[in-house]
A and B are shown apart, each in its own frame.
Chain A
């Protein structure tokens, strides 16, 4: 054997040892920056391929995942996978179990969710996961936007994982507000704080729906007593959440300090999950998401509404 061959072999052995020592499995267990509800893009890139990690994309726009996603990520469609196809409801328990089993999720799996549009629907996904008692679910801070902006690697192959028989719990009613709960607050029979995370124009009733979205409610305005903190105020320019300190201050200014239970809502219940995530997972407040949101409340007969703009639907 020549000396060159020896040197090559030694180098290969060294390289292998080096690889083994930074093997992803070791990192997932010991990483300090993944203890909270958020993981950084850097942490995720370092940990890709770890056996107990499952990355799941939940994006608003169809076709985004297919053109390139975080390597190894599976795709959950918010309207086809995480919603019931017929009733207005989240996915059924049985279907959710099938979905997670197909993605190879086990009780030991750490799940990282991410998506486009500042994690809107990924945060809504996190709410659905929480509803069904799936533990160890994190959000990639900054989502697709930051991952792409940092030029991190994208893949367009769809991974196939060995299916499992994963079970979830019954949906936890304490995470979900219903019309009756919101009505109690509006009529002063409950002390919860309402956070309306829509734009100011929607909140004040100037418009019935944000630009580009259909007018799905026949009344404009907001639930009486709600505070308006548009969701976008909770994020930085790069799509990451603001610091816990800044978030605490932001909501305190609107009278939301965590001393009373909170209900978040928006138009169809998805964007409000983003604020729900900040309030519960980052600030540790007691918050529920009202997924019926304005399209349910604003269409309900006889409920009190505050509409400072006085717009009248369908008037000429």
Chain B
């Protein structure tokens, strides 16, 4: 379903009866949003202890722009392959993983020269591998099918004015509350005694890199399909090139490359990339205040991953600002490209958002991360948990689509 680069842009830009879409006003509006974000980054950076917050907002903004422009959406990429036989999106995700594995393990090998000494790199998303993690991946994948995307994509779609995403995110907060309530039984039943498996601990850094890259190559070979359509002709003028950059969809691999690089580099300044910690912390804070979750969550805060600690100033956490940056950056990018199209939600969209979100939230809480926290940050760190979550999730997406649970049709994913 992915159209060629130029075809993906709003049809008006290709020159209809009214001529090409005027770019001046949307671009100015977009620049105003970016200016506000840049000013916020500066102001945060100048405040005491605000450098990491400023960095989080800045890198979030860049991510938001890239996610929106390249439509880097795990579910849409998977659906394009399952339904349309187009592998480019999934290959882009594999590229992000490969780039990130090389980058992140390069950094981590400096932090922890001896991976076999029994320690784990600090904060890396390496979680316990148990059947609860498999259940979490399955629920998350199903939540993606029902709600139309994963949590990171719902954040960037919030910036596009999606009618479903607000409900999916509310649903996800509810899913977190549900997850906190099922955590203690799951912890006693399986998580407490499951192992935290880190590939470099078994194989060394070189072995872990080679094994994971080999696996990625194998998957890439399995999903590869011949290209059906010719690539778009090169731009004939600077103006056309600029227009493509602003309006047209960026090639999927560009998104994969940038997301992989950011996910690897970000650990030099912040915790590994994840987009659910702030959402989960907010839900946990509310649940705690209202007595909706157990007072004690066994062992939860001892695990790495998208951790959900209750904090008094949630908005002043790097994760909240990262997410704010993603929404803001996507909003700016969508304004410029004419893809900011707020709509009133239909009953189906509300229902799909809430139920899908519930599954997403439960999966992200129980699995200690989502597509970003597990599939990217986990796999890149060499965590077996990242792979297990991902395989379970992909299976659920495939099964969900086969069972006809998807949003159906071949509509634009941002609709």
Interface residues of A (CB under 8 A from B): 62-63, 65-68, 80, 149, 156-158, 160
Contact = CB atoms under 8 A, between A and B. Distances in A.
A65 B110 CA distance: 12
Interface of B: 48, 110-111, 113, 119, 121-123, 267-271
B377 to A, nearest CB: 13
A225 to B, nearest CB: 34
A158 B119 contact: no
B113 A158 contact: yes
Given A66-B267, A156-B268, 6 more contacts: A66-B122, A68-B269, A149-B48, A156-B110, A157-B110, A160-B113
B123 A63 contact: yes
Contacts of A160: 113
A117 to B, nearest CB: 12
15 contacts: A63-B271, A65-B122, A66-B111, A66-B121, A66-B267, A67-B268, A67-B269, A68-B268, A68-B269, A80-B119, A156-B268, A157-B110, A158-B110, A158-B113, A160-B113
B122 A62 contact: yes
Contacts, number: 25
Contacts of A158: 110-111, 113
Contacts of A149: 48
B378 to A, nearest CB: 16
A112 B31 CA distance: 48
Query: B interface, by DSSP: helix, strand, loop or mixed?
Result: loop
A65 B122 CA distance: 10
Nearest to B51: A148
Contacts of B270: 67
Contact of A62 (B48, B123, B268): B123
A65 B112 CA distance: 12
A149 B119 CA distance: 31
A63 B270 CA distance: 9
A62 B307 CA distance: 14
Nearest to B48: A149
B302 to A, nearest CB: 11
A208 B123 CA distance: 29
B50 to A, nearest CB: 11
A149 B271 CA distance: 21
Contacts of A63: 122-123, 271
A237 to B, nearest CB: 10
A308 B260 CA distance: 57
A149 B267 CA distance: 22
Contacts of A62: 122-123
Nearest to B124: A63
Contacts of B113: 158, 160
A191 to B, nearest CB: 42
Nearest to A158: B110
Contacts of B119: 80
A4 to B, nearest CB: 41
Nearest to A81: B119
A80 B267 CA distance: 21
A156 B123 CA distance: 15
Nearest to B296: A214
A264 B267 CA distance: 38
A158 B108 CA distance: 10
Contacts of B267: 66
Please indicate which of the listed interface residues A62, A67, A156, A158 has the most CB atoms of chain B within 10 Å of its own CB: A67
A65 B267 CA distance: 12
Nearest to A67: B269
A193 B270 CA distance: 44
A239 B122 CA distance: 25
A62 B301 CA distance: 13
Contacts of B268: 67-68, 156
Nearest to B270: A67
A147 to B, nearest CB: 13
B381 to A, nearest CB: 13
A68 B271 CA distance: 13
A316 B270 CA distance: 42
B412 to A, nearest CB: 39
Contacts of A156: 110, 268
A124 B149 CA distance: 49
A27 B216 CA distance: 53
A157 B113 CA distance: 11
Nearest to B109: A158
A67 B52 CA distance: 10
A80 B123 CA distance: 15
A295 B34 CA distance: 51
B114 to A, nearest CB: 10
B200 to A, nearest CB: 15
A63 B269 CA distance: 10
Nearest to A149: B48
B148 to A, nearest CB: 34
A66 B268 CA distance: 7
Contacts of A67: 268-270
Nearest to A157: B110
A65 B48 CA distance: 19
B43 to A, nearest CB: 18
B413 to A, nearest CB: 35
Please indicate which of the listed interface residues A66, A68, A149 has the most CB atoms of chain B within 10 Å of its own CB: A66
